[in-house]
Structure 1
């Protein structure tokens, strides 16, 4: 028992198998009780963490629902945040933060910042989309049938429109990259 007190790495459950079946538990009673209390505290801590994570998930779900029901207006004089040309002349993305980008401007500026796996996936999706530009194939997804072209666009959107180029996490993580326009 003295060995257990001196070594914090070992617990009573680690040394119990080395004792014979005939050793009385009275010698280990305090150590067993302490070990059980530690396990109980650890379980309580885990339960609290799980409750906290559940509450956070509920808050996030609520925020997502709020964004789904949110609308914004685009005026004829609004311009792309990258090229300063009128926004309505080409397909565009409008982010909740208020930044607006032509889709081609966003893709060209975002591509170098994407991780290699996502960048390659986006390039492949764009290549496939170019193949579908003149023909229309259909793909069955669940019970709904949507065009393969629309599915490719949705896949590209999930990469490109996941966060704002200027104020999303990717830009914050890439602060080490210097962006200078000449």
Structure 2
């Protein structure tokens, strides 16, 4: 039923060393049903609060609950200690936590340095792309329509594929089944110029498309026109269904 907190709370209300019963409840629930780390930590924290409150000056029991839980740390326990608690027994744990935080800070600083360097490299690459130029010869033809691109609007991609704008937009509209009446020219242009139709996602998706559209009667008729009659096949040849 997932009533973990209620079960632990009831176990803590049982007199005579009830935190041991609560610990067993948490363990048994974790074995029966997988729990998220945060949920598991919250249940152990319920037990830890009781142990800290019940133990008073016996901090050894509080340290044991940290070891038993495998998810709590000294900093989870400290806020629940009284103001006059002797934290001497916690010194090794506090020191270990501080060292852990120090190591984490160093790792974060290294990650930040890496991200900063990466961002700088991306900025440099972007600046280089802005200054990049390509040459289109006078007899260059569209890689889709095979029509000359000079004298009309065209798209030139870094892969050196070039397309007449009308052909690229028609390809985009056809592939994505776009309703042109619901989009303006600039929106279609943005989609068409996003990536090369012969190198990008469109080409990858079209690899999985059949050559013949089973829903198009004209294409079905065209496919049938290429069928080889059985009379032209030998007895040992494969016969088409």
Q: TM-score, normalised by structure 1?
A: 0.68
Q: Hey, what does 1:178 align to over in structure 2?
A: 209
What runs of 5+ residues in structure 1 fail to find an aligned partner? 127-151
Indicate conservation of the 8 Å contact 1:78/1:86, yes or no.
yes
Structure 2 residue matching 1:88: 3-state secondary structure = coil
Q: 1:124 aligns with which of 170, 180, 183?
A: 183
Distance 1:176 1:56, change over 3 A: farther
Q: Hey, what does 1:25 align to over in structure 2?
A: 87
What runs of 5+ residues in structure 2 fail to find an aligned partner? 1-62, 213-218, 220-241
- The list of structure 1 runs, each at least 4 consecutive aligned residues, that deviate by more than 6 angstroms after superposition, is 119-122
Q: How many residues align?
A: 151
Distance 1:123 1:180, change over 3 A: farther
The answer to which structure, 1 or 2, has the higher relative contact order (CA under 8 A, 6+ apart) is 1
Q: Hey, what does 1:55 align to over in structure 2?
A: 117
1:133-172 CA distance string (max 9 Å, x none): xxxxxxxxxxxxxxxxxxx4xx65544323322324x348
Deviates more, 1:48-57 or 1:170-179: 170-179
1:91 Cα offset (Å): 1.0
Q: Hey, what does 2:163 align to over in structure 1?
A: 101
Q: How do residues 1-150 of structure 1 correspond to structure 2 at under 5 angstroms?
A: 1-111=63-173, 123-126=182-185
CA distance in 2, matches of 1:57, 1:124: 34
Q: Could you say which structure has the larger radius of gyration?
A: 2
Which structure carries more strand by proportion? Answer: 1
| RMSD between aligned residues | 3.1
Indicate conservation of the 8 Å contact 2:149/2:164, yes or no.
yes
Structure 2 residue matching 1:53: 3-state secondary structure = helix
Indicate conservation of the 8 Å contact 1:79/1:85, yes or no.
yes
Indicate conservation of the 8 Å contact 1:122/1:159, yes or no.
no
